[in-house]
Amino acid sequence: MNDFLREYLGMTGTKFGCGAAQCLSCAIIIDNPDGTSYTSPTCIVPAASFNGKSVRTVEGHAKDGELTPLQKAFIAHFAFQCGYCTAGFLNESQVLLERLARTPIARADLEKTIAEALDGHLLPLHRLRQISRGGARRDPGGSNAIPPKQLKMTIDLQIPLFIVAVAIPAAALTAEAVSNTPSDGLANIESFSSISDQEARSAAYFTELGKVLTSPRCLYCHPAGDRPRQGDMARLHQPPVERGADGFGLPALRCPICHQAANFGTVPGNPIWHLAPREMSWEGKTLREICAQIKDPARNGNRSLETLVEHIGEDHLVGWAWAPGPGRQSAPGTQKQAGALVEAWVQTGAACPKP
Ligand code: HEC
Ligand code: HEC
Ligand code: FES
């Protein structure tokens, strides 16, 4: 659903954080027909699950450029730092306000109710306090219960603020199934024996290997810019991480914060998960260019051709591409087959495909 909102509809107010239903920065509001509402993460919930439902995203809070009292309170109390989690908080708080408007509670229970409602949304604790103060200020002073009428005036109940009658294109519904289809295979070494010219055969091995090198699983970590890519549509990584000095990210958002030693849910994992250096980028290059670059010690991490065989055929990080976890198509063939192709390519003179 997160992809559907952000990539298909271009509505980027909904964020993508942990990707594992842990941070709720991706939460949106779902409106029940009976007037009640609740929030749901969008990262792990398929778009199909929202079919036929009325949803509200953060884009729908302000009306004609006028922020809601809730949004103004967030700003007045500086209830965010980088703002990444704010959309999720706003949605959750909006749901709470509407609930309180329907069912008032005793003043004494307010702080606890706010804390409970926002529980699960990740952000530093002192901000949470500021948010609850923003919320508590809404208490119209002194009385034990918040009269629904007054609450109604302070929050914008002119809802639906923003309703997408979710008519999801069939393509979006099948996206998951498509990405789960088995990967295409790789041709075996023997099948090249009919090419008698050694140089042509060598280049043919590399062209076959190219299916692996240019597969999303390898390309996303060998990007042209400073950001990895993600997802079926090769979007730039969300949240916006950058390679940093050592490929492990900038100091504030290091790759291992989210990428654990092994795959976790839909989050890829490896003990040394990080980006290939800039000079090893393959994105946007022709196979011939990649071939020249991969042979060049100045641009391949000072590797001999023999080490390349081992690197592609056995390296554990490279191997992740054939065990990428749920929802991702693995690199073509097997790692062993890819290693055999590199070996055959090297033994036949490591020729590059002709332009
Ligand atoms: C805040 C959490 C977070 C941080 C920090 C993070 N990632 Fe990710 N990353 C994710 C999640 C979640 C996914 C899975 C998204 C998806 O594909 O649905 C992901 C996916 C990826 C993918 C896509 C893999 C594929 O082939 O589909 C790459 C590549 C990647 N991250 C690289 C990095 C690198 C490199 C860093 C550090 C510079 C980094 N990430 C930091 C959360 C994070
Ligand atoms: C998680 C990110 C990540 C993924 C996924 C990944 N790589 Fe890399 N790759 C790296 C890093 C980091 C280096 C630099 C390692 C070094 O030099 O020690 C690298 C270096 C390489 C190199 C040597 C340098 C060069 O460009 O000649 C090759 C070859 C390579 N990777 C192949 C692959 C192949 C093939 C795949 C997919 C099957 C792949 N990689 C997937 C991160 C990744
Ligand atoms: S809970 Fe969905 S991105 Fe964190």
Nearest CA to ligand 1 atom 2: 258
How many A from CA of 62 to the centre of ligand 3? 23
How many A from CA of 3 to the centre of ligand 3? 12
C-alpha distance across the termini of the chain, in Å: 41
Q: Give the span between the Cα atoms of 311 and 318, in whole angstroms.
A: 8
* Contact indicator for 249, 243 with CB cutoff of 8 Å: yes
Q: Which residue has the higher pLDDT, 136 or 106?
A: 106
Q: What's the pLDDT at 187?
A: 95
Least confident range of 63-77, 161-175, 330-344: 161-175
Q: Which residue has the higher pLDDT, 178 or 132?
A: 132
How many A from CA of 255 to the centre of ligand 1? 7
Q: Give the span between the Cα atoms of 112 and 266, in whole angstroms.
A: 33
Q: Give the span between the Cα atoms of 191 and 333, in whole angstroms.
A: 15
SS3 20: coil
Question: pLDDT of 149-206, one tens digit each?
Answer: 433 333 332 223 233 333 333 333 333 333 333 457 999 999 999 999 999 999 999 9
* Nearest ligand to residue 329 Cα: 1
315 has a pLDDT exceeding 80: yes
| Whole-structure pTM value | 0.74
* Contact indicator for 44, 2 with CB cutoff of 8 Å: no
Q: Strand runs (DSSP E) across the chain, as ranges?
A: 28-31, 37-40, 54-56, 164-165, 229-230, 235-236
Which atom of ligand 3 lies closest to the CA of 22?
1
C-alpha dist (Å) from residue 14 to 116, 142, 221, 262, 308: 22, 36, 25, 27, 42
**Using a 6 Å cutoff on CB, does residue 309 contact ligand 2?**
no
SS3 14: coil
Q: Give the span between the Cα atoms of 323 and 326, in whole angstroms.
A: 9
Structure tokens that stand for 35 in this block:
């007037």
**Using a 6 Å cutoff on CB, does residue 60 contact ligand 3?**
no
Question: Residue ranges of the domains in the chain?
Answer: 2-165, 181-347
Least confident range of 118-122, 204-208, 331-335: 118-122
The CATH code for residues 2-165 is 1.10.150.120
